[in-house]
Structure 1
Amino acid sequence: MAAVIETDVAIIGAGPVGLFAVFECGMLRMKCVVVDALEAVGGQCTALYPEKPIYDIPAHPAIGAAELIGKLEHQAAPFTPIYLLGRRVERLGRDGATIELHTSAGDTIRCKAVIIAAGAGAFGPNRPPIEGLAGYEASGAVRYLVARREDFRGKRVVIAGGGDSAVDWALSLKQVAAKVTVVHRRPKFRAAPESAAQLDAAAARGEIEMAIPFQLHALKGDGSKLEAVVVSTLKGEEKDIPADHLLPFYGLSMELGPIAAWGLALDRHHVTVEPATCATNVDGVFAIGDIASYPGKLKLILQGFSEAAMAAHAIHPRVFPGEALHFEYSTSKGVPAGD
């Protein structure tokens, strides 16, 4: 049911950075409403790789994406955020000093500031240009994410791509799949150096088969059940790789959606911000995480966490004008109870 909601801060995006922004705002006594187009919190961590291990979260040598989201949600819970899921923000307006956001479900959110933490906007997988792809997608033979590793136990899996997702899932699925083959057009991978080294070592031990330099060419099967993936070289040489599943990891196609019409300064579909505050060129609107752009930006979750803290501190004077903010460490301050 559509509603009018009054809050201090509206956060667009319920991914890891958006959830941590709830905590940072809460530590400064600011209430939050979180809007996300997905039906569950977690953003890409939930929608694309819930079981994928993440290695660069401080104090966690490895943590599953879904587990990370669960901990962030638990961390934000004392501040009782309101989650508006399964809808997206369509319009931004103003009523004096108040910002009004209007969602696709008819909700109106009245707030003092907006934090855009929407990753890189709406996303979907980049699909390989292969004939008959839709039938294999419908049956689950071709997938663009791994929701459960157990789905691939004892299966022959072909992974295509050269980035972190391709390398990380090859290393993970080799533990359960009957066979894992990685298809890439060149020997060099765009993954983290340590992960790429682990892939090379696994290939040398015969745990993973490498199809290099090849690219996807066609699928063989009955249009639903996959029998083999056909790969080819640039010279036209072809070979069949017996397979039950194909996982093409060619990244995501991004679009900002309605946010693009808000008058924000953009840099290649990303929002330009001030590095010290994460403020955009639109008064009262801030951007953090992958969608934010500034010199020296690193697309890491941990940098997004830092940006969430900076944005919250920059927003505090808007919510509590004239009130001095005496910064205290959480170890001495503790976590205030939600109202």
Structure 2
Amino acid sequence: MTTPSPTHTTDVAIIGAGPAGLFAAFECGMLKLGCVLIDALDEIGGQCAALYPEKPIYDIPAHPAIEGGALIEALDRQIAPFDVPRLLGRRVERLEGTRGSFRLGTTKGDVIEARAVIIAAGAGAFGPNRPPLEGLEAFEATGSVQYFVRRRADFAGRDVLIAGGGDSAVDWALSLREVARSVKLVHRRDRFRAAPESLRQLDEAVSRGEVEKIIGYQLHGLHGTNGALAGVDLATLDGTIRHVACDHLLPFFGLATDLGPIAQWGLDTMRGTIPVTPSTCESSLPGIFAVGDVATYPGKLKLILQGFTEGAMAAHAIHPIVHPDTALHFEYSTSKGVPAG
């Protein structure tokens, strides 16, 4: 793997090395556009690697199910022929210039000179929405309370309480029932915001006694000593308290996100996202593109596969910026193969 120098000159700077950023790098490589990947995390993969490497993903074409970590490994292998440099563990703080000539600066002093920029920053800087519970920090420090599941094996033979009503809560309830001693799912109402197929599987798991649903309750208090969780108090709106014995609490209340310095670069933004032209994924600033969850436009679906499509469209729109005098004759990959890096 090429190690970038402090000053790096390339065709395309890709900010974000999650699934959308990695596939954008592949599409750039297929068009013989050089690129460099930059990410604030110390590893590639974005949320897939940091938050749910062992969580199955069911809507990747040709993969009935694939874990987040395996998807990232496959995307990494896909760009291997292009020897794409990575600047990891640093954040892009500064971006200046115009279409065809941008200069980026990172928190570690790197300078990247690029003809175009693709922002694939996902949710930006992200962290969990934490429940307002007394003594929470002590249980977080020991791992009794966790917001992301990196290894299912950590919950083998344990009693797990999951709180939340979205895809993460439902998906992990279904996944951890296979290894945990018991799984309980608590939500303030009997209406979940998860995929219909996941809800069907949840109903079946509940009917078989594999998962217990606790409806109409919210987290109220934690019990345990020295950071070891012994149980959680749940409360209804009218103050009825129910105690649930458990070893682990997994609150899935979404992510608090922040675009960080990106919001100061003069781009149009909308509720933490970047509006783009749907056909090219170009932002309000010419030469700067956005793909994946950070991009928005009418009809946008926050799916990994849509981020893949956006990466392809952005790469094709960038080609005339980098090669203004060369016509791009699109060919299928089955015809042209993978060009040399």
Cα displacement (A) at 1:149 = 0.5
SS at match of 1:269: coil
Which of the residues 243, 247, 256 maps onto 2:246?
Answer: 243
Cα displacement (A) at 1:215 = 0.8
- With the length of structure 2 as denominator, give the TM-score of the two structures: 0.98
Which of the residues 290, 302, 322 maps onto 2:325?
Answer: 322
Which of the residues 161, 164, 187 maps onto 1:184?
Answer: 187
Structure 1 segments, 4+ long, off by >3 Å, are none
Cα displacement (A) at 1:245 = 0.3
SS at match of 2:172: helix
Q: 1:116 to 1:95 in 2, by over 3 A?
A: closer
SS at match of 1:127: coil
Give the structure 2 partner of residue 279 of structure 1: 282
Give the structure 1 partner of residue 138 of structure 2: 135
CA distance in 1, matches of 2:253, 2:139: 17
The percentage of counterpart residues that share the same residue type is 63
Contact conserved, 2:99 with 2:115, CA < 8 A, in 1? no
Which of the residues 114, 117, 120 maps onto 2:117?
Answer: 114
- With the length of structure 1 as denominator, give the TM-score of the two structures: 0.98
Give the structure 1 partner of residue 160 of structure 2: 157
SS at match of 1:304: helix
SS at match of 1:8: strand
CA distance in 1, matches of 2:10, 2:23: 17
Give the structure 2 partner of residue 208 of structure 1: 211
SS at match of 1:220: strand
CA distance in 1, matches of 2:266, 2:179: 49
Contact conserved, 1:157 with 1:247, CA < 8 A, in 2? yes
Cα displacement (A) at 1:223 = 4.4
1:239-296 per-position Cα deviation (integer Å, ceiling 9, x unaligned)? 1111000000111000000000011111111001000000001121000000001000
Give the structure 1 partner of residue 27 of structure 2: 24
CA distance in 1, matches of 2:99, 2:332: 35
Contact conserved, 1:228 with 1:240, CA < 8 A, in 2? yes
Which of the residues 299, 310, 325 maps onto 1:307?
Answer: 310
SS at match of 2:49: helix
Amino acid at match of 2:101: T
Q: 1:28 to 1:97 in 2, by over 3 A?
A: closer
Contact conserved, 1:132 with 1:223, CA < 8 A, in 2? no
Cα displacement (A) at 1:51 = 0.2
| Pair 1:100 & 2:103 matched | yes
CA distance in 1, matches of 2:10, 2:144: 45
Give the structure 1 partner of residue 231 of structure 2: 228
Give the structure 2 partner of residue 73 of structure 1: 76
Cα displacement (A) at 1:97 = 3.9
Contact conserved, 1:12 with 1:118, CA < 8 A, in 2? yes
Amino acid at match of 2:340: A
Q: CA RMSD in A?
A: 1.1
Q: 1:179 to 1:31 in 2, by over 3 A?
A: same
Give the structure 1 partner of residue 61 of structure 2: 58
1:34-85 per-position Cα deviation (integer Å, ceiling 9, x unaligned)? 0000000000001101100000000000000000000001001111111000
CA distance in 2, matches of 1:269, 1:97: 26
1:297-326 per-position Cα deviation (integer Å, ceiling 9, x unaligned)? 000000000000000000000111110000
CA distance in 2, matches of 1:197, 1:185: 19
Amino acid at match of 2:93: E
CA distance in 2, matches of 1:311, 1:223: 51
Which of the residues 149, 153, 157 maps onto 1:146?
Answer: 149
Report how many aligned residue pairs link the two structures: 338
Structure 2: unaligned runs, 5 residues or longer: none
Amino acid at match of 1:215: Q
Contact conserved, 2:94 with 2:106, CA < 8 A, in 1? yes
CA distance in 2, matches of 1:223, 1:291: 40
Amino acid at match of 1:31: G
Give the structure 1 partner of residue 267 of structure 2: 264
Structure 1: unaligned runs, 5 residues or longer: none
Contact conserved, 2:28 with 2:315, CA < 8 A, in 1? yes
SS at match of 2:169: helix
Cα displacement (A) at 1:132 = 0.4
